Amino acid sequence: MPVVCEFFRTLAAYLQYIDMTQTERIKEMEQRLDRASAAVMRLSAALDDYAEAQEDIHALEAYYGSNEWKQDFSDDEAGPLPQDLKRGVLSEDGIWNLLEDNRELLTRMLEINDNRCLSLRRDEGLSR
């Protein structure tokens, strides 16, 4: 089914340019190039940050539910920790939500990759 959707998306993109003059088409494509180039550069920078954050995410994943986390959580509940200590890591949802968001993002990136690979394979098949 994704191949069919990709085909119709490509067909719709093609049909929208049939009635354009050459100058209109070039201007339109130039705008698309500018938008896409900016988006790719922003995503590349965000992916660099995300890759660096993976070490932190793995450390938080190991900490969450560990004996140390349980002790820290218990001590927080009992009150011996300083009042001004930031303690988002001790909430029951803070780390969990981050880990779940990370899993969803990884799944989303895999789906984007899979759809693009399907599209590339389809295009290769058409050109042969």
Cβ–Cβ < 8 Å for 123, 8 = no
User: Tens digits of per-residue pLDDT, 2-32?
Assistant: 566 767 777 777 777 777 888 998 999 999 9
pTM comes to 0.69
Tokens of 99: 């880990």
Decide which of 125 and 32 is more confident: 32
SS (H, E, C) the chain: CHHHHHHHHHHHHHHCCCCCCHHHHHHHHHHHHHHHHHHHHHHHHHHHHHHHHHHHHHHHHHHCCCHHHHHHHHHHHHCCCCCCCCCHHHCCCHHHHHHHHHHHHHHHHHHHHHHHHHHHHHHHHHHC
pLDDT tens digit sequence for 86-111: 999 999 899 999 999 999 999 999 99
User: Can you give the pLDDT at residue 67?
Assistant: 97
